[in-house]
Structure 1
Amino acid sequence: MSDKANAALDKVYSARTPEELSAAYAEWAVTYDGETASLGYLLPFLIGAWVARYVPAGEGPLLDAGCGTGLSGPSLKALGYGDIAGLDLSPDMLKIAGSRGAYGDLKQAMLGGPLPWPDGHFRAFFSTGVFTIGHAPASGLHELARITRKGGHAIFTVRDQVFASGGFQAVFDEMEREKTWRAVEESPWFRCYAVAEPDALVKAFVFEIQ
């Protein structure tokens, strides 16, 4: 991993407040795409496979929750998904996402807090690299499920280092008990970087909103 990318990752992972996290991404935004590409960052592109598996194009809007610079949007647009909204904490990252021409709606908000859409607004939400070290809490899944329609899908990755410590399984179980969603698919743990950091693992989850 390059020294610059390593330092940038250290800053975002060590952020203790939303303000610190936003500042870290503001500093990284301009070089983020090139540096993560050089590391073989897979997740923004791989998530489209799960979206295409469960969400037919044209069935309603999608939310890219924690869209960053919007790397996922153009791939999904190429696959026929024309109604994509993006949400991110960082205005600097959102500015770059807006330049890609794949997002019809971009909003700044923090996962874990209230989100600016009504109940059942989205056909599905997808999220990669957001439920990770120093980022969005597992509790943010409640609000994401609220803005996803019944029969819609929640498609997201969770980093291995926060899955247990962040209480994700407890939130999954709680939401199943409350009949908020039901489990559909769970991937094995896999590398999120094809080139660097072989020990950095994530798992993808798919739930259907009930």
Structure 2
Amino acid sequence: MVSEESSAYLQKVYSAKDNRELEEAYDLWAGKYDEHVTAFGYQIPAVAAGLLGKHVTPETTPILDAGAGTGLMGAVLDALGYQGQVGVDISAGMLKKARERNIYTDLHQMILGEKLDFPSDHFGACQAIGVFTAGHAPASAFDELVRVVRPGGYIIFSLLEDIYAPKGYKEKFETLGNNGKWQLTEKTKKFPGLPLEDPDLFHRVYVYRVC
């Protein structure tokens, strides 16, 4: 059941003015995050897992969980047989919860939009669920995600529809495509990511193949 408390946490992360505020907000939310987003009817992980399963085999390793949070998406992939997951997140509190799941080979505190401390062409695939939304990771983060995923690997991510053009994602996607960095494989129709909290807040899930 959606509560005033859970809605307040959501608004706090959406309204963060900088990475420090975002980190602090998620540190505070970490203990109740899973409970709250379940009450929201959070369905983005299910949609993303379906697409990842179409394009990425369980033998693909390692897989980057960019914006791992408490490991909700990682747990779905683990249940489907995907091993060798490496998670990064801005929040130490969220990473502590993810570590308790014992499904990641490594977890690191990193910020999407800054340089990632991984070699180029390191990952076989990447998924980034719930991080390209209001007040979160910028469009510039895709430069690093493309860099660290091997050619032929897939990047699967969700994006809040309202910020696609206004926040530079449309331009970034087109630039990466025109520069031969990646190619669109598939995208969903828009759907409510948190239907029990805000049925008018639409997302899409995208699949891009790194070139």
Same fold per superposition (TM over 0.5) = yes
Q: Superposed, which structure 2 residues align to 1:106-185 within 5 Å? A: 106-185=107-186
Counterpart code for 2:65: D
Q: Superposed, which structure 2 residues align to 1:1-210 within 5 Å? A: 1-210=2-211
Contact 1:45 1:71 in 2 (8 A): no
Counterpart code for 2:134: I
1:90-134 Cα deviation digits (max 9, x unpaired): 000000001011111101010000001100000110011100000
Query: TM-score, length-normalised on structure 2?
Result: 0.97
Instruction: Give, in whole Å, the separation in 2 of the partners of 1:124 and 1:110.
Output: 18
Counterpart code for 2:40: L
Contact 2:47 2:205 in 1 (8 A): no
Tell me, what secondary structure is at the counterpart of 2:107? Answer: strand
Instruction: Give, in whole Å, the separation in 2 of the partners of 1:80 and 1:158.
Output: 25
1:116-162 Cα deviation digits (max 9, x unpaired): 11000001100111000000001100100100000000110100121
Counterpart code for 1:191: P
Instruction: Give, in whole Å, the separation in 1 of the partners of 2:67 and 2:45.
Output: 11
The farther-off stretch of 58-67 and 192-201 is: 192-201
Counterpart code for 1:16: K
Counterpart code for 2:22: L
Instruction: Give, in whole Å, the separation in 2 of the partners of 1:60 and 1:168.
Output: 27
Report the alpha carbon displacement of residue 194 of structure 1 after superposing the two structures with TM.
3.7
Tell me, what secondary structure is at the counterpart of 1:69? Answer: coil
Contact 2:119 2:148 in 1 (8 A): yes
Calculate percent identity across the aligned residue pairs: 39
Stretches of structure 1 that go unaligned for 5 or more consecutive residues are none
Counterpart code for 1:51: L
How many corresponding residue pairs?
210
Report the alpha carbon displacement of residue 41 of structure 1 after superposing the two structures with TM.
0.8
Tell me, what secondary structure is at the counterpart of 2:104? Answer: coil
Instruction: Give, in whole Å, the separation in 2 of the partners of 1:156 and 1:187.
Output: 11
The farther-off stretch of 170-179 and 46-55 is: 46-55
Tell me, what secondary structure is at the counterpart of 1:115? Answer: coil
Instruction: Give, in whole Å, the separation in 2 of the partners of 1:154 and 1:31.
Output: 28
Instruction: Give, in whole Å, the separation in 1 of the partners of 2:111 and 2:6.
Output: 24
Tell me, what secondary structure is at the counterpart of 2:194? Answer: coil
Report the alpha carbon displacement of residue 86 of structure 1 after superposing the two structures with TM.
0.5
Tell me, what secondary structure is at the counterpart of 2:17? Answer: coil
Instruction: Give, in whole Å, the separation in 2 of the partners of 1:59 and 1:7.
Output: 38
Report the alpha carbon displacement of residue 44 of structure 1 after superposing the two structures with TM.
2.6
Report the alpha carbon displacement of residue 79 of structure 1 after superposing the two structures with TM.
1.0
Instruction: Give, in whole Å, the separation in 1 of the partners of 2:111 and 2:77.
Output: 23
Tell me, what secondary structure is at the counterpart of 1:81? Answer: coil
